Amino acid sequence: MAHIIVVGNEKGGAGKSTVSMHVATALARMGHRVGALDLDLRQRTMGRYCDNRRRFLDAEGLSLPGPVYMDLPEIQQDALAPGENAYDHRLSKAVSALEADSDFILIDCPGSHTRLSQVAHSLADTLITPLNDSFIDFDLLARIDNDGEKILGPSVYSEMVWSARQLRAQAGLKPIDWIVLRNRLGAQQMINKMKMEKALERLSKRIGFRIAPGFSERVIFRELFPRGLTLLDLKDIGVKQLNISNVAARQELRDLMLALDLPGVTVRF
């Protein structure tokens, strides 16, 4: 069976699609077969990222490793039994179609609470939650006091992950390996940044996730999207020498892949 990686939280702008594309492409470039799904049926950022990649490579006559992307198939309403949910069937059908030819299936979730996102989280072997370095984003995981010091209790997203964990346990599946990324980090060492780090460390012990390094805020990520490229593709399109920022970003990706500790993956870049 394919190992399912879900990238999700319930807030937009945390860099989910950037993380999704870089993880999927890194796995493909290391020789693994990777399928990809985008459950944000409206914005479809991951889907457009993959579309951009295909068009750019075709135009340049290049062939570079990457994920095999597919849209969710449509389901005829008359094919559903009473009480069955069409979204459940669409996701199940897509996963089944990719699973035969995939070592990993990466699922990019929308930045909102949807039925598709709920079901996807229950399928996750590995869950990656990118989080902006802000207590606004932290509030999705836990409620805190006015000083940002004391954790008052779990919040909406943590409760959804807990429900997914219960569903997996009832089905006799392995527990979700939940990784929270501190993403889009700024360069400055601010008091808020240190408070966030301490709060995440306390919360990780309380509700059971690992903390991994994400990406710093860099212009290069915005420049790569229109061509569907990742940091690992730059030399293959003729960039002879990476600048310091690009080298640092590539190292961040390597650190992330090492921290994920995915089964059967030896990080080689």
Q: Report pLDDT for 187.
A: 62
C-alpha separations of 46 from 25, 197, 204 in Å: 12, 28, 28
User: Using an 8 Å Cβ cutoff, are 231 and 220 in contact?
Assistant: yes
Residues 1, 173 contacting (CB under 8 angstroms): no
The alpha-carbon radius of gyration of the chain (Å, integer) is 19
* Domain spanning 3-260: CATH superfamily: P-loop containing nucleotide triphosphate hydrolases (3.40.50.300)
What letter does residue 71 receive in the DSSP assignment?
A: P
Structural contact between residues 212 and 260, judged by C-beta atoms closer than 8 angstroms: yes
CA end-to-end distance (rounded Å), the chain = 26
Backbone angles phi, psi at 3, to 5 degrees: -85, 125
Chain-centre distance for alpha carbon 16: 5
pLDDT tens, residue order, the chain (269 aa) = 899 999 999 988 889 999 999 999 999 999 999 999 999 999 999 999 999 999 999 999 999 999 999 999 988 877 788 878 888 999 999 999 999 999 999 999 999 999 999 999 999 999 999 998 888 889 999 998 887 778 888 899 999 999 999 999 999 999 999 999 988 776 655 677 788 888 899 999 999 999 998 898 888 999 999 999 999 999 999 998 889 999 999 999 999 999 999 999 999 99
The pairing of beta strand 151-154 with beta strand 142-144: antiparallel
Q: Report pLDDT for 234.
A: 95
**What is the three-class DSSP state of 57?**
helix
Whether 181 and 128 have beta carbons less than 8 Å apart is answered as yes
Helix (H) or strand (E) holding 248: helix 244-260
Whole-model pTM: value is 0.93
The residue type at 8: G
CA dihedral 30, 258, 246, 110 (to 10 degrees): 90
Q: What is the DSSP letter of 150?
A: S
**Which residue type does 52 have?**
N
CB 116 within 8 A of CB 91: yes
Question: Which pLDDT belongs to residue 12?
Answer: 84
Give the distance from CA 150 to its chain's centroid. Answer: 28
> pLDDT at position 189, please?
59
Burial class (CB in 10 A: 0-12, 13-18, 19+), 166: exposed
- pLDDT of res. 195: 82
